[in-house]
Amino acid sequence: MIRELWRGTGRPGYRRAMERQRVPMQPERRLPELDRWVGLWVAVKDGEVIAAASTSPELVRVLHDMGEAGEGAVAQYVPRPSKSIAIGVG
């Protein structure tokens, strides 16, 4: 079974198909208004920051207290701007 998996990747058709699927990566862009929230957890809804807190559990409590106004928000940590990149594997 494992031999067949490796045999499939060695075929020229497989390689051509994988090369065609490559899409140039774009740098991750963040909202400019997030610069004033560096080091905090923020909740973003419709492109606007609706809540901020120093820890994620605090942010959840704030959003819960907001009721329906906090529903559908996306929570994210705002790191300091840097030129370094992180690559996740797995």
How far CA 30 is from CA of 16, 38, 39, 56, 75, in Å, comes to 34, 12, 14, 19, 13
Residue 36 domain-assigned?
yes
For residue 75, give its domain range: 30-79
Which is more confidently placed, 51 or 8?
51
Percent of the chain with pLDDT over 90: 43
Instruction: Identify whether the C-beta of residue 50 lies closer than 8 Å to the C-beta of residue 44.
Output: yes
Q: How far apart are CA 45 and CA 73, in angstroms?
A: 5
Which pLDDT band, with edges at 50, 70 and 90, does 26 fall under?
confident
Number of domains comprising the chain: 1
Residue 63 domain-assigned?
yes
Residue 50: the pLDDT is: 95
Residue 12 domain-assigned?
no
Residue 85 domain-assigned?
no
Residue 9 domain-assigned?
no
Judge whether residue 3 has pLDDT over 90. no
Report the predicted TM-score, pTM, of the whole model to 2 decimal places.
Answer: 0.60
Residue 47 domain-assigned?
yes
Residue 44 domain-assigned?
yes
